[in-house]
Structures are given as C-alpha cells and as structure tokens.
Structure 1
Amino acid sequence: MSHRQRHPTIKSNAIFRCPSTHIFPPFLAFGAFGLRRNKRMGKEEEGKKKGRRMLALTGAAALVAVAINLLFTALNAHKSKNQNKKKPKAGVLGLTVHVNLSASEILKLADRVIAKSKDVHDYVASIPLDKVTYTNVILTLAELEAQQFPLVQSCVFQKMVGLSDDVRKASAEAERRIDAHLLICSKREDVYRVIKAFAAKGEWMNAENKHYVNCLVRDFERNGMNLTLSKREEVERLRTQIDELSMRYIQNLNEDNTTIIFSESELAGLPREFIKGLDKAENGKVKVTLRSHHITPILEHCKVGSTRKTVAVAQGQRCGEVNLSILENLVQLRHKLARLLGYSNYADYVVEPRMARTSAKVFEFLEEVSIRLTDLATRELNVLKDLKRKEEGVSSFGIEDLLYYIRRAEEQDFDLDLGVVKQYFPVSLVLSGIFKIFQDLFGLRFEEIEEAEVWHNDVRLFSALDFSTSERLGYFYLDIYSRKGKYGHTCVVALQNGCISSNGARQIPVALITSQLPKQIDGNPGLMRFSEVVNLFHEFSHVVHHICNCASFARFSGLRVEADFVEIPGKLLENWCYESIPLKMMSGFHQDITKPVTDEMCRLLKRRRDSFSGLKLKQEILLCYFDEIIHSSENVDMVELLKHLHPKIMLGIPLLEGSNPASCFSRLAIGYEAACYSHIWSEVFAADIFASKFQDDLLNQYVGLQFKKKVLAPGGSKDPMEILFDFLGRKPSVQAYVEHKTRNSI
C-alpha cells in the first residue's frame, strides 16, 4: 500500500475516479473557492454561456426542449452581457474550496494546511490517556479532515486542469509536500496511542461513530503502529523497496523501444493509413513497436496469422527476464510486509479493507464466475475456430487469433458503423440527456450557477437540489471540453466532502467532472464517440453518488467507499446507455436533432457490448487468478503457473511458447496488485441490481429513490454487503450476470 493511503485525518487520496479501463494516476485532490467570474467574457461568449444553460426537465418534453435550447443559443449569441448581475458569495453557497489560486498562493496554502494539521495532531497527542473523550480526540480529528479536505484539494486539483505550466508545477509541488506530511502523520505513534485509548473505552455514540473510530485504529495498525520500533523500521524499509521496484517495473515498460520489422504484405488487412504512419525500415519494410496503438490494430485486423503470432509473442516477452525478476522480488517483499503486519499473505492484507474482506472470498468468487461462463465461452470459441478453418485452412487456434476472429465474427453477424453512430451524439445533446435521466431517476434538479468563479470560461458550475423539497444537496463543476494541458481522460474528482459539523450544520459535497470532449466550431457541434458517451454517463454517476451522500463523517463521504464497491453504481448505470429509451434521450442526428438513434442501432450497440463476452471475461479471469495466487502463496514459479492456468481457464488454448505475460502486466506492479478482481466484482453485482430492480422499468423513480437512499446515501458509513442486502432484500448473486451474458452474446 502506498503512503498516499495511510493517514485518516486529511485523506487527500483516492477521491478521484476515472474509467476502469485506465490506470489511476497517483494521488490527486482538488479544490475551488468563491464564486465570481475570473475572466471578463466578450458579448458573444456570454451569450453562448446563457443559451447553453441546462434546464431541469421532465416527461416527453426533453427532445423539444433540447431543440429550443439550441435555438436560444443561436438567438442569444449576440446579446449583451447583463452587467447588473450580482456575483454569488462563496459563503452563501457553502463552498470552501479555491479555484483560482496563483502558483505562489497554492504553495502558501499547502504550507498553512500542513502547519494546521501538525498543530491539531500535536494537541491530540498531548491529551493524557485517562482524559481522552469523543470530543477532544475523535471529533477534533474528524473536524480537521472536514475543514482541511477542500483546502488540500484546492492545492492540487490544478495539476489536472490548470491553465499554465507554473500553476500545474506548483500544484504538483503542493502535492509532494502534503504527501510528505501525510507520511509523517502515518508514523505518529503518540496520536495512535490516544485514539486507541478512546477505542478501548467503548463509548460509542452510534454505529457510524464506532465504524469511524475503528477505521482510524485500523489505518494506523495497517501501517505498523502497533509494532515495536524495530519492526516499524522494517515496515518502512520494505515499503521503500516495494515502491522502488514497482516504479522500476513500470519504467522498464515505458522505456522499452523494441521494434519488429515487417513487409507491407505481412501486414495485409490493416488500413493503408496505419501502414503509412509506421516508421520505415530498410528494403521497403516498416517498423512496428510494442505499444498498444500498434499491437491492438495488428491483432484485430491483420489477415496474416504468422504476423499476429509474432506480435503476440513479442508482446508477451516485453522486458522479459528483467521484469519477471522484479515482479518475483516484489511479491516476496509484499509477503514479508504482510506477515510483519500480522497477515498470512499480501492478498489478505490488500483485500481486508475491501468489500470482499478475504482472499478466500475472492477465489470463491472467481471460481464461480469462471465455471458458470465455461459453456458460453466454449460455444464462442467453436464459432471462432470454424471461422479460422474457413479463412486460413488450419484448425489450430491460438490466443493471437482471438481479437482478429472476434472482429470477423462481429462483421458477419451485424453491420454497425461507429462513424455513423457518432453523428447522433453531439456533446450538448448527450449532456442534456444525461442530466434529464439522472434528474428523473433520482428525483433531482440541476440548476446552473451564473457568474460563478471558474478557472476557464468553458467551465460551468451547477447546484443539485432535491426535486420535491428543493433542499440543496451539493454542487458540481463541468470542465468537459478539450484544451491543452488538461488531464486526458474523463474522470470525477471530489472537491469538498459532505459531512455534519459539531454544531449540526451540514457541509455540502462538491465534485468536478473533467474530460477532453470536442467543442462546437463554426456552428458544427462537437460529436462524441459512443465509448465517450458511456464513459461520461458512468462518470456522472460518480458525481451523483458523491452529491447524494448523507454520511456524518467526511471520511465516509460519497466516493469514500471500499475500492471494490465504488464502481458498482457506475457499472449499474452504464446499462442505460444500451437501452432504447435512454439512448434516444441522449441522441439526435447532428443535422436534425429530432431524429435520435434508431431501434436497430440500439440493438446492435447492445449486441456489440456483449458479443463474445464469455471469452473476453475468461481472459480477464486468467489475470485475476494469476494476481491472486502469486499474492496469496509463497515461492510460486510464475512461468509454470501461467503455463498451467492458461489452458485450464482459456479452454485448452495454450500460453504462447516463449512468452511470459507476467513481465508486462503493469497492474501487478502498481495500483491493482492482489485487487485485479475488483473490475469483474463490480460488474457482477451491478448486473444483479439491474436485473432485479431496474431492467423492466428503467426510469422508475420509486426504485431510483430507493437506490439513492439505500445505496448512494450511506457512502462509506456502512458495510457494502449490508448496503446491497438492504436494497436487494437478499445477498447479491452472480446468476443475473451469467444469464445476461449468455442471453445477449453471439
């Protein structure tokens, strides 16, 4: 575990969500303060901003309203800016985050945050053990976190969205300083002793209070504070070695410049533009790197089986012996660390604070899913084998053939041009549809805050209110349009956590969703790929999750839930992107927005998502098994393990001779070690919720409100299994997931 995850009081880590297909960048936290316009806008820009204001809409008026909205955009483009508008005050809105700090202000604020945190920790540490109370220990630390979290976020969120190099560099430096402070806090035995003394008294006010105290104790003890000084020093030494080896593994992959030389005939089937973009070699040949933007197109499109095999073997040999040796050392060090901290193995150490709780539960889960998918995957593999025999005249089917023949089968089974599909998803229309779906489903109303202070003219601030009571639940910033220097993926950041202060007032949550979507240019709307639509919808679910939080402690606010639970709402709500009614609410042909995607397009998009899902999941399960085995067992021969697992899980398909994928599984080095299972885990439980509660009525507000109340509102204050049992009325099951895949796959 990285030191970014250690101390419970400031908690600047992990309040950042991005699509599960991406590796999470390290420690990111963000902020915003005040609400006044940061730059003077011209008349035309102001008119556009007013015209694109999002309306809270219900019923069948959605599409008409979108059309009217776009019409107002054109009509208002040249209106004068209203000079008499008052800029809302930050205090009135309940925001304590800062959005427009200069580079020097960022660093000064970081230093003040650190100084304040040190003072509070010193105070708590000074309390005699026989004088500890809830107020002077637990409440003091809880309020420190609640007050400082938005300030910490303010220091470092500009690293992602800042407009200048100076600001982004200052943000990164602030992150480094706060990180170093958190590391020191995590080693404060004096603070741990005081918290432990209060815990020993057992004076719990309620279940959430008890859970909070137990989490404080657990965090310290997972960092070795209950060990002797010599053992704590050994823990730190092991952590340092683990961090160094992890970074070396990733660095080796990043610096690998291996190329393979092919003639153009050996790349038959690939688009002409792709081949033209390759570097030239001698004798008219071209160079292929082992980067994904070269490897994936070849494995998907190249007609030459020997080329696909050469590329697949080379990919499996990346950084070969050197990274395999690093991974072996990493696993040994992780096991030593886990045993030192009182765990039988590293997998149990990683899984303990997660929803699964034990590695045994993970193995049980993977085994059940894998077995139940075997019949489906076998049928799918037989289809691909038949295709290969017809096309290449050979019966042997290898892992290098998988992507190519899946694509060929999909081409034969259905005709779906994603370029045409893209024409139906203008950014503004997609966003309007997403707003309407979430408002209708969860009983919300979104209102844009005019004249808000933002860091760029494209950024917009919205408040989220309860539709029936008009209670303000929180705020969210939209920074979705492409610009230089921004973080490249769609993701959500918690800027301010919801909680209840000691005086009973509620601090409302604030979130940021950022992306790199195309803007409208010269009257031509920015268009979204369908995958971008799904990502934006998924990430907006995290915004709503954060805003609907009702936990008392900032620590449990919104996205502060178990790491294998946080993606379940997003994976659940992705289903709306594959159903006809919501898809039509988000779509409209860019030249005539009254024409949404057709029913046939909806059907094919759904089939495309589920095609050959058994085989695809078997591949993922293979990695999960490998990950969990090496992190729960000692002295595993990784090469032999893969040779054994590959044909067993992949229905007889052997590991490619000479390849060793363990040398290039970046997720095993940093970020997902002993936790690769969590992606499938989230999908399985999300499928169960969808099938049992939403499938027959996608916009059933009664069920949506129950989901908001029972699943989203608790945040991290309750055990996730208890949350799901409360909503489903039973334990979650894998059955719905398997039935869905079996029913919808080719």
Structure 2
Amino acid sequence: MNILTSTYTTKYNAAPFSQIQMSDYQPAFETTIAAARAEIDAITHNPAKPTFENTIEALDFSGQTLDRLSSIFFNLNSAETCDEMQKIAQEVSPLLTAFSNDVSLNEALFLRVKAVYDQRNELSLSPEQATLLDKKYKSFARNGALLSEDKKSRLREIDTELAKLKLTFGENVLAETNNYQLHITNEADLKGLPEGAIEMARSLAESKEKEGWIFTLDFPSYLPFVTYADNRELRKEITIAAGKKAFQNNEFDNQEITLQIAKLRYERANLLGYETHAHFVLEERMAQNPNQVKTFLNDLLAKAKPAAEKEFAQLTAFAKELDGIDQLEKWDGPYYSEKLKQKLFNLDDELLKPYFKLENVLNGAFTIANKLFGLTFKEIDTIDKYHPDVQTFEVIDEKNELVALFYADFFPRKGKRNGAWMTSFKPQYIQNGVNERPHISNVCNFTPPTPTKPSLLTFNEVTTLFHEFGHGLHGMLANTNYPSLSGTSVYWDFVELPSQMMENWCYEPEALALFAKHYKTGEIIPQEYVEKIKESASFLEGMATLRQLSFGLLDMAFHSNNPTGITDIKAFEKTAFEGTSLYPDVAENCMSVSFSHIFQGGYSSGYYSYKWAEVLDADAFAYFQEKGIFNTEVATKFKENILSKGGTEHPMTLYKRFRGQEPKPEALLKRAGLI
C-alpha cells in the first residue's frame, strides 16, 4: 500500500511523514495525476449543460489528492532534500507540467468554462463565486486555450523546459552554498566576532571532525562574520564567495540557465499575445502593468537616493576616520554600519540578543496573535514531523475549535535551502458543509543553540520570525469556500501586507514587554534599549531602500524588455544597477544567477511587491497606532476583511473595507525617515 495515495488515518489528517518511503513518491504522482485526469474528464464530458456548480466549482475541487501530494513533496524538497529527492523532482516536474497544460489547453473543457463565463451577468453569483469564475476563465485564456494547435504545442514545450530549468537553478544555488566553507585555524582571525558566532563555528568544525572554526554561507553563520570580523581580508573572501554562487563557470553555473529562463518566459508571453513576461504577469496584479511598477520604483528611488548618498558619505567618512579606509567596499558595508550604529545608538545585536531567546520570541508572536485575533497555540507531539527540529502546534480559537495546525522549522541544515518562507501542507476550504482547516508551516534559518547557550536571535531574525508568522496567520485564519481563493492565494503584490504588517509589533514597547526578556535573569528589555530600537529603525534606511529598489529594477530589466539580445549577464546586471549602486562593482560577483526569488520562486516581475506592500502595511499600521496597537475593533476589521478573505475579492476593495480609504505613501516615507 502506498501511504501517499491512501486516505490518511492520522490525527487532523496531518501529513504522515514517518510512514513515507522515498520510493513512494514517483508511483504516487503517477497514480494521483491519473486520478486527477479522470476527474477532469468527468467534468469535460458531463452530458448536463455547463453550470457554475458542475464546471467551475467542480474544477476548483478537482485533483485534491494530487495537490496534497505535491505540497508535501515540494515542501520537503525545499526544507529536507537529498540527492534522491532532487532526482525525483526532476522526473515528476515534467509530468505535472504536462498535466497542467493538458487542463489549460483542453478545448472542450474551456468551452464549458466559457459558456458559464458568457452568462455570468444572469447568474446572481456571490462576490467570491464571481471572482472564482473570472479567475478560472482567465486561467484558460491566459494560458493558451485560445491558441492554435501548433502554438499550444510550443507552449507545452516551453512550460516543461521552464519547470526543469527552475529546479536546476535552485539545486545549483543550494550546491554552491553547501560547497563553500571558510576554515579558520588561527584564533587571531576571529577577532571582533561575538562569542555565540565563534561557538557555533567551533561546533560546526567539530561535527566535520576538523580543528578550529568553520564559517559557511548559511545566513546565521555568514552574517555575523561579515558584520563583526575585524579581519578585512577574510570578510572580503567570504563576501566574494557569497556573491559568486553559481557564477564560477563550473558544473553549478547558472548563467546560461538564467538567460534561458528569461528568454523562454518572453517567448511564452509573446505566444499568448503579451509584449513581455512582465506585461503578462502584471495584468493580474494591483500594479496592472510594467509602467506603473517602474513609475512606482523610480518615484521611491528619487525620494530615497539623496538620503542614501548622504548615508553612504557618512559611512565612508566614519570608516576613514576609524581605520583609514579610503574606498568602502561591499565587504565593509555590514561591518562599518554596525560600528556606526553602535557609536550613534550605543546598540548592537550582541547587546540585544540575550533578550531574544527564540522560544520567548515565538511565544511573543503567539501572545500577540491571541490579543489581536483570539488564537491560542498549544504545542503537541501527536502528529508526525519531517525532522526532529520541527515543532508542531494546534491553533485554537475562543470557542476552543481548531483553526489550524502550525509547523515551525527554524534552524539551518544541509538539506534545507537558505532564507525564510511560509508554506502549507493542506489548504483551507469548505466542502459538503465541512470547513477543512489548513496546515501551515514557517521555515527559517535562525542562529541555532550552542552547547552553552539557547538560540538567541538577532533583532533582524526577530523581525523575520514575525514576518513569516504574518504570512502564517494569513494562511491559518483563511475562511473561504474555494481552495484556489484561500489564504495567501491573493494578488502577489498584496501577499506581503500581512507579513510586513506583523513586523511593526517588534518595535512597540507594549509588545516587546510581552516577550523580550533576558534569557538568564528574566528581566524585561530595558526601556532605553526599546527607544534605541525605535530610533535606529530608520538607521541607513535610505541605503536599505535603494538596495530593495535595485532588486525590483533588476527584475523589471529582465522581464519587461526583450531579453534575447542579452549575451553577458554580468554586464546586463551592471547596467540595471547603475542608478542604485553605491559600492564599487565586484568583478567576480553576479547576483542574477542566484536570485532565487525571481528565477526559482514566484517573484518574477513581482519583486517590487515588497515595497508596494510596505506602503500598505505602513498605512494599515498607522490605523492601529491611532486606535491602540492591541485595539480589538481594528484587529477584528483586519482579520475579517484581510486575513480571512484570501483572494475572494479585489485587494483594493478589501483594503478599503478595512481602512475606509486607499493607502497613502506618506506613512511609509515618514516611518523610513525619508520625509
């Protein structure tokens, strides 16, 4: 019996991780794709005339076993992968792409969908049903249903190729991350590094049966090194190593793959009648088109650049005065920024970390979710985990009813990609009168505990935890009828609102008092530290804004133009960064080839959405500040109009219902200290 194709008998229908064999995946995909095909055939050949129920609704609820299997497999491929799993991913991705194409290019099925769509005005649908119908019709029209047979055939080829290339892109970045280590045997080279970072590096060296200390490109190891190590040459070495991932003309080089992805996306958009990939993507976003995005990014750039240049000059003067450095380089940025921050605010991560024990911060996020949305998180050990590091929680509401399952996976390891993300193992939807509750996961790479200390987070890690937890709440509080409109299934430039919104509580004294307690003494974080955190929140914000804008502009450069003329990725990237670069270029480095957000993840033509959502979150949080950061009336409006509604209506409609008005950028500019 293959556990992945059977009905789970687990508590809460949770994923049965411990019962899955690696050999189960391939046959399970083949079986569930065949079952999903049969469901599609039943809808397509239904003799009854097409209705909303027998066509649109039936389509949305089809393929559930396949979706569940895909979420388990691909989530583990990101968080707990191995060579065998990556090989299976390469084999099943083309099967999934082919199935997806068979659905979107199925003419008979499209004609049924179109028949319902054409009579939409006579159907008296709810706003959610109207959204679903619109989305289903567009998913066909935007994915080739109206194409001639030869163009449909080419579309299939492109999609299969893209699915494989994106996987390989990610595998190469992970391999390059794992292949580098900075092995230090001379204790003098550790000067400046915090004790926790040294201890972590020693533990890593011991685990590899080596003398001394090992630093890697995993963020909890890399970041303290470039921020604190006094040895400038070693900072340079590890910074260049991080910047040349997949840009070394070796077997893991991504240059050709990056170009192929960009060119295939462009060809695909052209096939579908769009000018570029960005025109195709942005049609279904709040921003609507590439011109709007570029105007938005360039307006912010005009406001941020003078501040950024002033900050860079201040940082340069500071490095010159402190160490006689004439030219600030990329490996100097984090180091001198931290020193300047200490000088100006007498505040550094090492001072703050004892107050941010991981368990306390997580409980703080839970307490805040309880105060705002009435949720209680109860750790349980009665459901399966895919790794011993994972923690599992029941999420309960005021009526003591299950809202969600929550998985938390916080530490780096070999089979886990870098970064932080939220995902789900099971979506929320209502079917046959049953409200199926979601299984949500937060995956991060935080500073792990050491033999003498618990996991103590940097303030940046604290805001990351709250950010991903905000995405998590969007998934957990979902309350919609249809799986494809549930939780984070919203316009991409709206999806960052709940996550960035939650970060705001990390700066509020009233919220910090709930969880920022010294791990040894239990003493609440001193008020002067809290004030300094708030004061320093906009420290070098101009430079940080410029950096974010540079990524958004690079994304647009690749995707809102014809990429077929690009022959040299490094030269192309340099041109795209021209208006935003402060540091001298590093010849050995190229960001595009490890820019996983846009070449592996779902952010192509969408990187601007981080900044776009900051406008929304600053405006939304201003409402909380006006009424009180734990005001239940505002929190309930946010929960009912934003968090629970998923993609059931246009985001601006939902936002205005919560806020009473469209968002204004002033709150963001004020918060960032740019006005």
- 2:279 partner letter: D
2:62 is paired with a residue whose SS is: helix
User: How far apart are 1:648 and its partner, in Å?
Assistant: 2.9
Residue 563 (str. 1) matches residue 492 (str. 2): yes
Contact 1:149 1:497 survives alignment (8 Å) = no
TM-score by length of 2: 0.79
Contact 2:220 2:445 survives alignment (8 Å) = no
Of the three residues 612, 615, 619, the one matched with 2:547 is: 619
User: How far apart are 1:328 and its partner, in Å?
Assistant: 4.4
Q: String of CA shifts for 1:194-222, please: whole Å, max 9, x gaps.
A: 22232223254222212212212222233
CA distance in 2, matches of 1:630, 1:106: 35
Contact 1:157 1:171 survives alignment (8 Å) = no
Q: String of CA shifts for 1:291-331, please: whole Å, max 9, x gaps.
A: 98998677645768898789878876773788556544543
User: How far apart are 1:490 and its partner, in Å?
Assistant: 5.5
The corresponding residue for 1:235 is 155
Residue 494 (str. 1) matches residue 424 (str. 2): yes
Contact 1:429 1:586 survives alignment (8 Å) = yes
How many aligned residue pairs are there?
A: 645
- 1:716 partner letter: G
The corresponding residue for 2:52 is 134
CA distance in 2, matches of 1:100, 1:255: 26
User: How far apart are 1:338 and its partner, in Å?
Assistant: 0.8
CA distance in 2, matches of 1:473, 1:654: 54
- 1:611 partner letter: F
User: How far apart are 1:719 and its partner, in Å?
Assistant: 1.2
CA distance in 2, matches of 1:723, 1:182: 30
Cα 1:449–1:673 shift into 2, 3 Å:
closer
CA distance in 2, matches of 1:574, 1:270: 29
The corresponding residue for 2:615 is 684
Contact 2:404 2:440 survives alignment (8 Å) = yes
The corresponding residue for 1:604 is 532
Cα 1:387–1:156 shift into 2, 3 Å:
closer
Residue 509 (str. 1) matches residue 400 (str. 2): no
1:437 is paired with a residue whose SS is: helix
User: How far apart are 1:588 and its partner, in Å?
Assistant: 2.3
User: How far apart are 1:646 and its partner, in Å?
Assistant: 4.1
CA RMSD of aligned residues (A): 4.8
The corresponding residue for 2:652 is 721
User: How far apart are 1:615 and its partner, in Å?
Assistant: 0.8
Contact 1:146 1:499 survives alignment (8 Å) = no
Q: Among the aligned pairs, what percent are the same residue?
A: 22
Residue 123 (str. 1) matches residue 46 (str. 2): no
1:648 is paired with a residue whose SS is: coil
CA distance in 2, matches of 1:414, 1:616: 18
2:424 is paired with a residue whose SS is: strand
Q: String of CA shifts for 1:660-697, please: whole Å, max 9, x gaps.
A: 65555454533333222222222232122112333662
CA distance in 1, matches of 2:393, 2:261: 44
- 1:137 partner letter: T
Residue 554 (str. 1) matches residue 483 (str. 2): yes
User: How far apart are 1:534 and its partner, in Å?
Assistant: 2.9
Larger radius of gyration: 1
CA distance in 2, matches of 1:411, 1:227: 61
Residue 190 (str. 1) matches residue 120 (str. 2): no
Of the three residues 433, 453, 466, the one matched with 1:537 is: 466
The corresponding residue for 1:222 is 142
CA distance in 2, matches of 1:640, 1:517: 34
Contact 2:193 2:224 survives alignment (8 Å) = no
CA distance in 1, matches of 2:346, 2:107: 64
- 2:46 partner letter: I
The corresponding residue for 1:387 is 318
Cα 1:712–1:613 shift into 2, 3 Å:
same
Cα 1:600–1:155 shift into 2, 3 Å:
same
1:673 is paired with a residue whose SS is: coil
User: How far apart are 1:31 and its partner, in Å?
Assistant: 12
- 2:53 partner letter: T
User: How far apart are 1:351 and its partner, in Å?
Assistant: 2.2
- 2:645 partner letter: P
1:354 is paired with a residue whose SS is: coil
Q: String of CA shifts for 1:568-611, please: whole Å, max 9, x gaps.
A: 11111111112211112013222333x21111222333444432
The corresponding residue for 1:62 is none
Of the three residues 117, 125, 128, the one matched with 1:208 is: 128
More off after superposition, 677-686 vs 507-516: 507-516
CA distance in 2, matches of 1:306, 1:697: 49
Cα 1:507–1:330 shift into 2, 3 Å:
closer
Structure 2 matches for 1:40-51, cutoff 5 A?
Answer: none
Q: Which sections of structure 1, spanning at least 5 residues, go unmatched?
A: 1-28, 37-89, 280-285
User: How far apart are 1:545 and its partner, in Å?
Assistant: 1.7
- 2:57 partner letter: L
Structure 2 matches for 1:268-283, cutoff 5 A?
Answer: 271=193
1:494 is paired with a residue whose SS is: strand
Cα 1:264–1:143 shift into 2, 3 Å:
closer
CA distance in 1, matches of 2:531, 2:75: 40
User: How far apart are 1:712 and its partner, in Å?
Assistant: 0.9
TM-score by length of 1: 0.73
The corresponding residue for 1:446 is 376
- 1:340 partner letter: L
